[in-house]
Amino acid sequence: MRLLAPVPFLAALLLAACGAASALAEDQVLAVDETETRGAVTTIADGAVAVTVEKGKAQTVPLDRVVEIAFGNRAEPPAAKAVRIEFATGDVVVGLPEAGAPAAVRAGGRTFPIGDKQLDRVHAISTVGGLAAAVAAGGAPGPAPANDSPVWVWTQKEADGFPADEVVAVGAAGLKILDASGNELDIPWDLLVRVEMNRRPGGAPAPAPAKPARVLLDTTDGCRLSCESIRLQGDILLLEHDLFGKVDLVRARLSRASFRGEGFVFLSDLTPANADENMALPAAGERRTHHPWRRDENFQGGPLAVRGRLFSKGIAAHVHSALTFAVPEGMTRFIARAGVSDEVLGADFNANIPARVTFRVLVDSQVKFESGPKSESDAAVAIDVPVQGARQVTLEVTWTDPKRPVLSYVKGRGVWGGARFIRG
């Protein structure tokens, strides 16, 4: 079986849940300039976020200046029988399949239909229990082969997976698929590990939307919904979704909302001008290849987190990597919080030896920020670098323990949380 990473996806979800559980019991509104407003978010409407701060005082933050709202609700670990449905749009639904027609999944305190319209945009479906069983048997499924099969299926009996032609339906008991010979097969949920579908020739996933959504909303049970706007009135949040129509969520189910705006741009929404992920170790000059960088998620597909602080937007990058981005016109500062990913907290390989990861920011090839060695016990370090008039910014993650280069494979995982260019 091909191993995707030392820490399984399920562990990443549970780590995120634990981290969020220890997070703030109050809401936080983070502005583009890193200003934080803490209190109780009461309404999101009419271009502003209203927050009740200390002693009952009300404060408003213009919505076009908001980067993220972190609600003070505790995350919930996924149920063993839950399924995780990932869409090409970046949306994720994690919940329990429901009986009846049409097919649906219960998640976020509501029902999400999973019919033909939704299946056409699905990238992958996994089961929490199936992944746990695969891990217990020796690892998680690796990437599907780069072939022309539109569907690739992993089960507890087929650890390396097998090709299929189509996922016909999602039901309360499992999936109905057509195999490569055109035969109809039923795969029960307790047998399924993962299926990737709507693959393009060569194994490429279905393309993401050309224009990213304005808002990404995360729920406490692991769902992620993209939309153009949200409205919070009292205990109900409302949004309009391309795949699910009008969606209402109870406030107690809200985890985070991140925003895209005119005055800032997230680096995870940009394509790097250059991505060197095979840099040399500083001492021996040895070159090592690690996992490719990831947008808005860690290397197991879970949320980005550093010491329990979650980031809806950001970049996961392994050590020995340098990602270079062109500075968009008019942007004057680069802001981020960098640290070692909470993924490594679940590693049992040399668990007592801390990571030694250094983060550098170069502006037009000149070092403007260097963190010094950071371990998994360090909080994310704040970065604020001027970029006005600059052409490009490079983000480097390096391993600074040359005596233990092998450890970098397990613990050399960096997070550039909320990395963005801002104007003003």
Is 355 inside any structural domain? Answer: yes
Q: What's the CATH number where 121 sits?
A: 2.30.30
Are the beta carbons of 424 and 266 closer than 8 angstroms?
no
Quick: pLDDT tens for 165-175: 999 989 889 99
Same domain, 271 and 373: yes
Is 176 inside any structural domain? Answer: yes
Q: How confident is the model at residue 14 (pLDDT cuts 50, 70, 90)?
A: very low
Is 254 inside any structural domain? Answer: no
Is 312 inside any structural domain? Answer: yes
Same domain, 198 and 267: no
Per the structure, the count of domains in the chain is 2
C-alpha–C-alpha distance, residues 43 and 38, integer Å: 14
Are the beta carbons of 193 and 139 closer than 8 angstroms?
no
Q: How confident is the model at residue 401 (pLDDT cuts 50, 70, 90)?
A: confident
- Count other Cβ atoms within 10 Å, centred on residue 422: 22
Which residue among 168, 203, 238 closes a domain? Answer: 203
Helix 9-21 vs helix 128-136: angle between axes, to the nearest 10 degrees? 120
Residue 5: C-alpha distances to residues 8, 299, 332 (Å): 6, 8, 37
Q: What's the CATH number where 292 sits?
A: 2.60.120.1060
Whether residue 380 is predicted with pLDDT greater than 90 in this model: the reply is: yes
Same domain, 269 and 199: no
The pLDDT assigned to 16 comes to: 41
The pLDDT assigned to 328 comes to: 94
Closest CA to 262 of 4, 48, 66: 66
C-alpha–C-alpha distance, residues 4 and 421, integer Å: 32
Whether residue 2 is predicted with pLDDT greater than 60 in this model: the reply is: no
Is 57 inside any structural domain? Answer: no
Residue type, 346: G
The pLDDT assigned to 20 comes to: 37
Is 38 inside any structural domain? Answer: no
Quick: pLDDT tens for 212-270: 788 999 999 889 999 999 999 889 999 999 999 999 999 999 999 999 877 899 999 89
Q: How confident is the model at residue 79 (pLDDT cuts 50, 70, 90)?
A: confident
In the numeric block, the tokens 């990913």 are attached to 341
Are the beta carbons of 357 and 316 closer than 8 angstroms?
no
In the numeric block, the tokens 């406490």 are attached to 220
The pLDDT assigned to 360 comes to: 97
Same domain, 278 and 408: yes
Same domain, 290 and 180: no
Quick: pLDDT tens for 179-192: 989 899 999 999 99
Q: How confident is the model at residue 15 (pLDDT cuts 50, 70, 90)?
A: very low
Quick: pLDDT tens for 148-171: 889 999 998 888 889 999 999 898
Quick: pLDDT tens for 363-375: 999 999 999 999 9
C-alpha–C-alpha distance, residues 259 and 313, integer Å: 9
Same domain, 197 and 268: no
Same domain, 163 and 291: no
Same domain, 154 and 302: no
Which residue among 180, 203, 226 closes a domain? Answer: 203
Q: How confident is the model at residue 347 (pLDDT cuts 50, 70, 90)?
A: low
Same domain, 268 and 386: yes
Same domain, 386 and 274: yes
Closest CA to 314 of 68, 124, 89, 94: 68
C-alpha–C-alpha distance, residues 176 and 321, integer Å: 41
Is 234 inside any structural domain? Answer: no
Phi, psi of 146 (to 5 degrees): -80, 70
Quick: pLDDT tens for 43-53: 999 999 999 98
> Considering the chain, what is the average pLDDT of its residues?
84
Same domain, 93 and 198: yes
The pLDDT assigned to 210 comes to: 67
Domain span at 356: 263-422
Same domain, 275 and 404: yes
Are the beta carbons of 377 and 354 closer than 8 angstroms?
yes
Whether residue 283 is predicted with pLDDT greater than 60 in this model: the reply is: no
Three-point CA angle 105, 109, 114, nearest 5°: 20
Q: What percent of the chain has pLDDT over 70?
A: 86
The pLDDT assigned to 140 comes to: 62
Phi, psi of 129 (to 5 degrees): -65, -40
Is 242 inside any structural domain? Answer: no
Cα-trace Rg, the chain: 21
C-alpha–C-alpha distance, residues 13 and 9, integer Å: 6
